[in-house]
């Protein structure tokens, strides 16, 4: 193997699920910040938008701000990002305040050179030079727990981002997994799922445990629901 190929193989790529979020110093509308260190001990959502003064992005920022209190109740902060300058961010948020009566309270990163966007895989070849609608959810230990990408023409679903954070926090507090559409699953409501046993003995014990515990509902040893 040539040295060039070896170097390429060993070079770090964009972070993946459960990777440490890369340490980045960024310029924002709230001054310089260091990620993830400045948010140590709390969750944060970093989300990018293609550009200031664009219609879909404007509706998203209004939507995030309108739900900001719900994020804070989950000990979660918001950080926006685009390749626009700080002055553009400021003028745009002033316009949102004046015309749509929403004051954007969270910081917005000015990634003029695209360094942060490149590091995090926010620039997609088919989308030109603007950042796609990326969402990165980072936990209090600085680990990347969720990545979402949306195309330029479709705005994000804020409910899904909030739902995901609630699900992560429930998983960590209760040691359970969460079903599709939790907590409003059409078949199982807000019940959680136990991880499947890994041995014959544990499988038998799971069924016995479910028979004795009213909070458990075992359809089978590998499919057991729990009230939480």
| Residue 196 annotated among the catalytic residues of the structure | no
State the angle between helix axes of 55-66 and 86-100 in degrees (0 to 180), rounded to the nearest 10: 70
Task: Give the max Cα distance, the chain.
Answer: 65
Backbone angles phi, psi at 13, to 5 degrees: -100, -170
For 107, what's the count of Cα atoms within 13 Å in the CB-facing half-sphere?
Answer: 20
Residues 6+ apart with CB under 8 A from 73: none
Q: Identify the bridge partners of residue 28 per DSSP, sorted by sequence position.
A: 31, 109
Q: Which of 57, 117, 132, 144 is catalytic?
A: 57
The residues carrying an active-site annotation are 57
């Amino acid at each position: 193997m040539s040295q060039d190929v070896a170097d390429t193989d060993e070079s770090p790529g964009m972070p993946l699920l459960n990777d440490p979020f890369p340490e980045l110093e960024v310029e924002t509308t709230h001054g310089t910040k260091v990620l993830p260190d400045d948010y140590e001990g709390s969750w944060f959502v970093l989300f990018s938008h293609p550009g200031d003064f664009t219609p879909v992005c404007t509706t998203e920022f209004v939507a995030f701000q309108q739900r900001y209190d719900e994020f804070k109740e989950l000990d979660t902060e918001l950080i926006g990002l685009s390749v626009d300058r700080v002055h553009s961010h400021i003028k745009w948020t002033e316009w949102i305040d004046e015309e749509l009566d929403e004051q954007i309270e969270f910081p917005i990163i000015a990634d003029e050179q695209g360094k942060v966007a490149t590091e995090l895989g926010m620039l997609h070849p088919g989308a030109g030079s603007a950042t796609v609608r990326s969402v990165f959810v980072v936990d209090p230990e600085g680990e990347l727990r969720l990545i979402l990408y949306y195309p330029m023409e479709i705005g994000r679903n804020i409910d899904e981002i909030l739902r995901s954070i609630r699900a992560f926090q429930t998983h960590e507090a209760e040691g359970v997994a969460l079903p599709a559409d939790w907590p409003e699953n059409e078949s199982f409501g807000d019940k959680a799922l136990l991880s499947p046993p890994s041995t014959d003995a544990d499988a038998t014990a799971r069924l016995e445990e479910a028979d004795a515990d009213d909070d458990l509902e075992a359809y089978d040893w590998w499919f057991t629901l729990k009230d939480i």
